[in-house]
Amino acid sequence: MRIYLHDYGGHAFLVGLARHLARRGHAVRYSFSATNEAPQGDLAPRGDDPETFSLDPVVTDPVDKRARSLAGLVKRRQAEARFGRAAAAHVRAWDADVVVAANCGLDTLAALQGAARAEGVAFVNWLQDVWSVGTRAVLHKRFGVVGDLAGRWMERREGRLLREADAVVGITDGFRPLLDLWRVPAERVTILENWAPLADLPQRPRDNAWAEAHGLVGHSVVLYSGTLGMKHDPAGLARLGERLAEADPEARLVVVSSGEGADWLAARTAERGLTNLVVLPFQPFEAFPDVLGAADVFVAVLEPEASAVSVPSKVLAYLCAGRPAVLSVPPDNLAAQIVMREEAGVVVPPGDADALADAVLALLDEDTRSGRMGAAGRAYAERAFDLDAIADRFEAVLTGALAGR
């Protein structure tokens, strides 16, 4: 079949799946935002790419995701609408059997779904995050009743888009109650948990070229890598940096990110003189195995209200690296459940910065326990991130969506 897969973020695991589907005989066009500020996968043509695989970057002015004022939010929505129109034009220019959309804002999602309908092809909504619920909480906090009303309108809109899709792929069973509430037909919903591109994330030694280039060799390293918005509680990372400096002035907390939370953390680091807290921009994909390899312990944070609508995919990459992780997330979050079940790290209550610091410091002091947890995480990744099995399930979703049309 001819598959148009639009992944706004250009994530490594999704472009990896697109290439794998092309190797299985499908014609696959992988589309993404060329101006998005986020960690991305290998988005350049490769010598081993099959002839049936092509990349389709969508180029528009960058969307400013740091906007906090009402005027700034209006401008952000206008920019997202422009991106949606551009992405829809790309869909109309390629003869697809099925269009898949992942990691899109609602304006982009609506434009892509409308283009698929206009072309008479099947449409699959790959639900990575429930956009409207988290946005409603933010708008209510900032703008009171008016913000809450706007958030309610967005929830109704997202529910309608999901109901009208030919198939919905959710990444966690935690989405099912909300999908039921929004009356999305259960027979159209498939749960397919996210994964990390295991083949692209070999285990690397701590003393590698990237660690040496950033002055990390010889230091204990705690690493956060991935998107860092305000929903990820950057204040908890700042407190972790302070506690780490008190316990071991030579230890380093390295945050590889960008965005509103990263900006806040960099300012806080300068303000408090936290010389052991290093904030770096997103690194090239080819360096990512060394970035992960430089760590002794990983951390991930998520505020409670985001737990039901978001699963930190950074944790899945952590598992590939063979290092323990400390998660400051609600225990019902899928990432927390995996880490607890596989004994691949420690989960502490969200918002408790000292509990996060205590767990990290304990793992830095317990080499045997840390090594056991890291090995358990890698073993899970090798079992669960089987791309052939994932592609089999995804192909079944696409076949069902086409049959439904």
Q: What is the mean pLDDT of residues 179-201?
A: 95
What are 2-20's pLDDT values in tens digits? Answer: 999 999 999 999 999 999 9
Q: Nearest to residue 297, comparing CAs of 225, 229, 235?
A: 225
**CA–CA separation, 172 and 75 (whole Å):** 32
Q: What percent of the chain is predicted at pLDDT more than 90?
A: 71
CA distances from 92 to 58, 222, 267, 348 (A): 13, 46, 44, 47
CATH class of 198-384: alpha beta
What number of H helices and E strands is found in the chain? 14, 13
**CA–CA separation, 254 and 224 (whole Å):** 6
Lowest mean pLDDT, pick from 53-62, 113-122, 126-135: 126-135
What are 284-323's pLDDT values in tens digits? Answer: 999 999 999 999 999 998 877 665 556 778 899 999 999 9
pLDDT score at 230: 60
Q: Cβ of 234: how many Cβ atoms within 10 Å?
A: 25
What would the two tokens of residue 115 be? 């283009």
pLDDT score at 308: 56
pLDDT score at 67: 59
Q: Report which secondary-structure segment, H or E, holds 325.
A: strand 325-328
Using pLDDT thresholds of 50, 70 and 90, give the confidence band for residue 262: confident
CATH entry 1.10.620.20 includes domain 2-195+386-404: no
What are 38-50's pLDDT values in tens digits? Answer: 778 899 999 999 9
pLDDT score at 71: 72
Checking if the pLDDT of 162 tops 60, the result is yes
Q: What is the mean pLDDT of residues 96-108?
A: 95
What are 130-151's pLDDT values in tens digits? Answer: 878 877 877 887 888 888 888 8
Q: For tokens 């209550």, name the residue.
A: 349
Rg (CA), the chain: 21
pLDDT score at 305: 62
CA distances from 378 to 203, 322, 372 (A): 9, 5, 10
The amino acid that residue 227 corresponds to is T
pLDDT score at 386: 94
The DSSP bridge pattern shows strands 252-256 and 221-225 to be parallel
Phi, psi angles (nearest 5°) of residue 275: -70, -15
Q: For tokens 């002035």, name the residue.
A: 249
Checking if the pLDDT of 56 tops 90, the result is yes
Per the CB < 8 A criterion, the answer to whether 6 and 101 are in contact is yes
What are 328-368's pLDDT values in tens digits? Answer: 998 988 899 999 999 999 999 988 999 999 999 999 999 99
Checking if the pLDDT of 68 tops 70, the result is no
Per the CB < 8 A criterion, the answer to whether 127 and 170 are in contact is yes
Could you tell me where the DSSP H helices lie in 165-287? 176-181, 209-213, 234-247, 260-272
Per the CB < 8 A criterion, the answer to whether 171 and 127 are in contact is yes
Per the CB < 8 A criterion, the answer to whether 268 and 236 are in contact is no
Fold agreement (2-195+386-404, 198-384): yes
pLDDT score at 309: 56
Greatest mean pLDDT among 51-55, 102-106, 172-176, 231-235 lies in 51-55
Going from N- to C-terminal start, the domains of the chain cover 2-195+386-404, 198-384
Average pLDDT value for the chain: 91
Question: How distant is the alpha carbon of residue 19 from its chain centre?
Answer: 19
**CA–CA separation, 378 and 342 (whole Å):** 10
pLDDT score at 361: 97
**CA–CA separation, 233 and 226 (whole Å):** 13
What pTM was estimated for this model as a whole?
A: 0.88
Beta bridge pairs of residue 253: 222, 277
Handedness of CA 337, 310, 322, 19 (dihedral sign): positive
pLDDT score at 380: 96
Per the CB < 8 A criterion, the answer to whether 147 and 141 are in contact is yes
Q: Cβ of 274: how many Cβ atoms within 10 Å?
A: 18
Q: How many CA atoms lie within 13 A of 22 on its CB side?
A: 20
